[in-house]
């Protein structure tokens, strides 16, 4: 028995798919970045339509200048965790600014969005009588937070308040702490949660809520505060988590709350205490991006205009889309092999999107996942639509031939 035996099935499938095209969809190298929506890949200029750069801030002059200035003033790294020497004034200031933007009293900044959920969930639900209930489609970091906590974990059906209600009703009196975790927008399919209903059900049963708005922060709601703002329940969410690596164009994550006890996590969350803190340049870039999106809604408006165009075009082309119009537009393919070939076809046409296949997708679905950016120009979108138009014809012909 080898430690590597368990990987063989996946490795064999991966090898078979690679041999059919000669290109690795999970290891694409952006050899030279040309801007927020273009890159050179294998000597060819590609339109990037799978980067989660929703507001297109990665090349914004404010973010670039702030990051450069931070390196000059504070160096390239902190060399320590937030719990030790890794808290600078800029970390504290960003926590205050995020809290103010979201309308919460407290905020903690973590090294990544992944660690924000990992650290918050594992610290909040540690007691033997704690239970965590999670949407079945939650991100891996939420699952890993549950595992690290050691608490009993119960899944409820995706986006189903009735399912959550039933599972909460079945918990016995011995359960003391109850934490319900779900997301604003789910990153794989792009569908949004019924946040209002899930919060109401949770609180009816005395459970606290942790809402991950990683992919919806800066995008949903009248002022970009997320799906909970769009649903009118932002002030009712107990813990709001997010990331810097999407709309905030950096690396890092955060958890915000009106509960003063959030501060207890600073000395009880292992991922917070034992990971080096975000670098000065990352904090500065995120701070600049936050200031920009707080004051200027034009990027969000551009994003939704682009999303409507792409979603409408793909619908007319007959693609089976996973969700309503939004920044993530995922098209279902009939099999892993078909999805792999379609992804490679788009690359040949100069368009990069994300390939997602089982077991990493809900319901064992194979998809091409496109993420729209406010920075996509009309010319970028023309390339995307033209490539998908040709792909639709190829898929239709393949179906007839089969």
Rounded Cα distance between 360 and 357, Å, is 6
Residue 314: CATH number of its domain: 3.90.1150.10
Residue 122: CATH number of its domain: 3.40.640.10
Number of domains in the chain: 2
Residue 71 and residue 43 share a domain: no
Residue 362 and residue 239 share a domain: no
Residue 291 and residue 301 share a domain: no
Residue 148 and residue 254 share a domain: yes
Estimate the share of the chain in helix, then strand, then coil, as percent rounded to the nearest 5.
Answer: 45, 15, 35
Q: Tell me the β-bridge partners of 110.
A: 253
Residue 33 and residue 77 share a domain: no
Which burial class, exposed, middle or buried, applies to 77 when counting CB atoms under 10 A from its CB (0-12, 13-18, 19+)?
middle
Residue 357 and residue 283 share a domain: no
Domain finish residue from 295, 329, 347: 295
Global pTM reads: 0.95
Residue 279 and residue 206 share a domain: yes
How many CB atoms within 10 Å of residue 319? 20
Residue 286 and residue 147 share a domain: yes
Residue 190 and residue 173 share a domain: yes
Q: Locate tokens 């809402």: which residue?
A: 211
Residue 372 and residue 359 share a domain: yes
Cβ-proximal residues to 348 (8 Å cutoff; 6+ apart), any chain: none
Domain finish residue from 279, 295, 311: 295
Give the structural domain span for 361: 5-58+297-401
Residue 306 and residue 369 share a domain: yes
Rounded Cα distance between 297 and 302, Å, is 9
> Edge-to-edge strand order for the sheet containing 178-183?
106-110, 253-257, 239-243, 208-212, 178-183, 131-135, 152-156
Residue 169 and residue 26 share a domain: no
- pLDDT tens sequence for the chain (402 residues): 689 888 888 888 778 777 777 788 888 999 999 999 999 999 999 999 999 999 999 999 999 999 999 999 999 999 999 999 999 999 999 999 999 999 999 999 999 999 999 999 999 998 789 999 999 999 999 999 999 999 999 999 999 999 999 999 999 888 989 999 999 999 999 999 999 999 999 999 999 999 999 999 999 999 999 999 999 999 999 999 999 999 999 999 999 999 999 999 999 999 999 999 999 999 999 999 999 999 999 999 999 999 999 999 999 999 999 999 999 999 999 998 899 999 999 999 999 999 998 887 888 899 999 999 999 999 999 999 999 999 999 998 877 666
Domain finish residue from 295, 329, 351: 295
């Amino acid at each position: 028995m080898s430690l590597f035996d368990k990987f063989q099935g996946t490795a064999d499938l991966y090898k078979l798919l690679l041999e059919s095209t000669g290109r690795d969809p999970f290891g694409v190298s952006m050899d030279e970045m040309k801007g927020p929506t273009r890159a050179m890949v294998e000597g060819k200029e590609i339109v990037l339509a799978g980067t989660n750069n929703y507001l297109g801030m990665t090349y914004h002059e404010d973010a670039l200048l702030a990051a450069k200035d931070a390196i000059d003033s504070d160096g390239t790294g902190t060399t320590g965790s937030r719990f030790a020497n890794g808290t600078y004034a800029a970390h504290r200031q960003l926590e205050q600014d995020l809290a103010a933007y979201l309308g919460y009293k407290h905020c903690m900044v973590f090294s990544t969005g992944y660690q924000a959920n990992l650290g918050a969930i594992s610290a909040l639900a540690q007691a033997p009588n704690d239970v965590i209930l999670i949407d079945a489609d939650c991100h891996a970091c939420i699952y890993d937070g549950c595992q690290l906590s050691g608490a009993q974990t119960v899944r409820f059906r995706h986006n189903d308040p009735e399912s959550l209600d039933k599972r909460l009703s079945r918990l016995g009196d011995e359960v003391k702490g109850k934490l319900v975790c779900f997301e604003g927008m789910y990153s794989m399919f792009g569908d949004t949660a019924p946040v209002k209903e899930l919060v109401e059900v949770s609180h009816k049963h005395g459970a606290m809520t942790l809402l991950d708005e990683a992919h919806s922060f800066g995008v949903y709601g009248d002022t970009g505060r997320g799906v909970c703002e769009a649903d009118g329940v932002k002030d009712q969410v107990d813990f709001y988590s997010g990331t810097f690596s999407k709309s905030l164009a950096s690396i890092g994550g955060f958890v915000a709350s009106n509960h003063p006890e959030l501060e207890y996590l600073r000395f009880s969350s292992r991922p917070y205490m034992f990971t080096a803190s975000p670098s000065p340049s990352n904090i500065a870039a995120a701070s600049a991006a936050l200031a920009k999106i707080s004051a200027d809604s034009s990027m969000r408006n551009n994003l939704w205009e682009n999303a409507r165009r792409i979603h409408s075009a793909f619908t007319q082309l007959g693609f089976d889309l996973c969700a309503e119009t939004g920044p993530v537009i995922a098209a279902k393919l009939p099999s892993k092999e078909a999805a792999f070939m379609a992804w490679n076809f788009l690359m040949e046409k100069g368009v990069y999107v994300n390939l997602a296949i089982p077991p990493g997708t809900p319901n064992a679905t194979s998809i091409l996942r496109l993420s729209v950016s406010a920075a996509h120009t009309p010319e970028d979108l023309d390339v995307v639509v033209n490539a998908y138009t040709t792909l639709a014809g190829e898929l239709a012909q393949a179906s007839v031939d089969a």
